[in-house]
Structure 1
Amino acid sequence: MSEPGLLKRSIAELIGTYVLVFLGTGSVVTTVLLIQGTDSIPGNSFNVGIDIAAWFAIGIAFAIAIIAMIYAFGHISGTHINPAVSIALWATGRFPAKDMVSYIVFQLVGASLASFTIVAILGSRAVATGLGATAMFDGVSYGQAILCEAVATFFLMLTIMGSAVDKRAPAGFAGLAIGLVVAADIIVVGNITGSSLNPARTFGPYLADFLMGGTNFWWQFPIYIVGPIVGALVAAFLYDYVAEAKENN
């Protein structure tokens, strides 16, 4: 059976990223709507009042979306649904440059469509929550935020390399392993940077929030580009060195 063409694989990435952002950031929007009115602070309401139990629920929502999409499209596109993952696989010689560019464009489109869908369903209420946009929390510096995103994405990419990329890994468990490490990342660092780990996941809410008259967070976007990409690159190259993955694939 031949591999699907680039367009079909890119569409799978668009759908996968759409589901990730809709369910993941949608859980943030729902959480904030449940707590607003009693714990809202103007200008920062989207990340106020989210306690550890709520972060756990948000982490599980992201995990379920990722697990489902890996099992739905893993055999079609690989389910990167994350520009940092596509870049790391390209940098380690596993992914052609033209495919990487196409994947990233479709991932960004999927993430944006998901955020606009949330606005279409909930209207201005959703925009007022920040649409699940990631941002530095109080007391966190720009450098600390980049480091946080890099470390958390390192864990994600390391898990991807060991459970999905390395052909010696036990079959059938990649989706569960990857989804759970994302949930753990969100639970632990969600209250520091929002735990993006994914430039597309941040891009969608930023774009919709900005165009719908919400808060302009674009000045923080470099955090969610540099941190995830650096973390993914370090993990991919380190895994290849330690596990000698290329020699065994």
Structure 2
Amino acid sequence: MGQREGIMSNIRKYAAEAIGTFWLTFGGCGAAVLAAGFPDVGIGLLGVSLAFGLTVLTMAYTIGHVSGCHLNPAVTVGLAVGGRFPADQIAPYVIAQVIGAIVGAAVLYVIASGAAGFDAVASGFAANGYGEHSPGGYSLTAALVTELVLTMLFLFIIMGSTHGKAPAGFAPIAIGLGLTLIHLISIPVTNTSVNPARSTGPALFVGGWAISQLWLFWVAPILGGAVGGALYRWISAEPSAPVVGETVKPS
């Protein structure tokens, strides 16, 4: 019975990660695609940045106790490197996150396609890019450094705010505002990824250049997440609880 409960607990964690990453991709990219440049009353860069931050904040309070609310392969890897997540759970978490992001992008595509003249390729569909596909025309090197450094600092925020000695209950606020700040900094550079799953969903619907540049938005965030996890583990070596949600003890 204990083993069965453990399996069901893991399935619930993976489902929570998929749903949460769906919300992040649909909510954040949806704000960019549907509302950022809406005639006269568009929410702009600030609104899109807040949308991404709010998706994480709301889901952290909603599913944090279930799965730890990673919603991001770079976060999962970074927490594992930082000693706060079991390495044998990286693959299923990442798979669930990517599935959630793809479904989120698919639902967004269906909605966006309801407007006359919508073209995912022409609009960019909130895909991440560098060079001529960077919103500000930033180079590959600039994009690489931006994604690596910001993901590293994002892990720093996550590791610190979820530490046992941090103020209880405030981690989602710090993490959500941290992601908002990250977007305020880097939307002009790469359209902001710091999340390989979020990048993958829209890229599949844009195709072409978005697929060919997708490698950067896997490599840089995961490397940055790993560095951030390792760095925080060194700075605050005192053990703290894993970021995995509730666990089921075998009977």
Q: TM-score, normalised by structure 1?
A: 0.84
Deviations 1:172-199 (A, max 9, x none): 1111100101111111111011111100
Q: What 5-or-longer segments of structure 1 have no aligned partner?
A: 37-49
Secondary structure, aligned partner of 1:75 = helix
Picking from 189, 194, 198, the partner of 1:197 is 194
Picking from 148, 158, 161, the partner of 1:160 is 158
d(CA) in 2 for partners of 1:221 and 1:108?
13
Indicate whether 1:148 and 2:146 are aligned.
Answer: yes
d(CA) in 2 for partners of 1:15 and 1:169?
27
What does 1:1-249 correspond to in 2, within 5 Å? 5-31=9-35, 34=38, 54-123=44-113, 125=118, 127=120, 128-136=122-130, 137=134, 138-164=136-162, 166-210=163-207, 215-246=208-239
Moved over 3 A (4+): none
Q: Structure 2 counterpart of 1:132, which letter? A: A
Deviations 1:10-43 (A, max 9, x none): 000000000000010001102455269xxxxxxx
Identity of aligned residues (%): 33
Q: Structure 1 counterpart of 2:84, which letter? A: R
Give, in angstroms, the shift of residue 73 of structure 1. Answer: 0.3
d(CA) in 2 for partners of 1:116 and 1:14?
14
Q: Structure 2 counterpart of 1:163, which letter? A: S
Deviations 1:126-164 (A, max 9, x none): 624222111122542212211100111122111000001
2:24 touches 2:52 (CA, 8 Å); kept in 1? Answer: yes
d(CA) in 2 for partners of 1:65 and 1:201?
12
Secondary structure, aligned partner of 2:85 = coil
Secondary structure, aligned partner of 1:195 = coil
CA-based RMSD: 2.1
Q: Structure 1 counterpart of 2:78, which letter? A: A
Query: Which piece of structure 1 moves more, 90-99 or 108-117?
Result: 90-99
d(CA) in 2 for partners of 1:33 and 1:178?
26
Q: Structure 2 counterpart of 1:19, which letter? A: W
Aligned length: 227
1:160 touches 1:178 (CA, 8 Å); kept in 2? Answer: yes
d(CA) in 2 for partners of 1:82 and 1:109?
11
2:36 touches 2:47 (CA, 8 Å); kept in 1? Answer: no
The change in CA–CA distance for 1:118 and 1:225 in structure 2 (over 3 A counts) is: same
The change in CA–CA distance for 1:184 and 1:126 in structure 2 (over 3 A counts) is: farther
Q: Structure 2 counterpart of 1:56, which letter? A: L
Q: TM-score, normalised by structure 2?
A: 0.84
d(CA) in 2 for partners of 1:185 and 1:140?
16
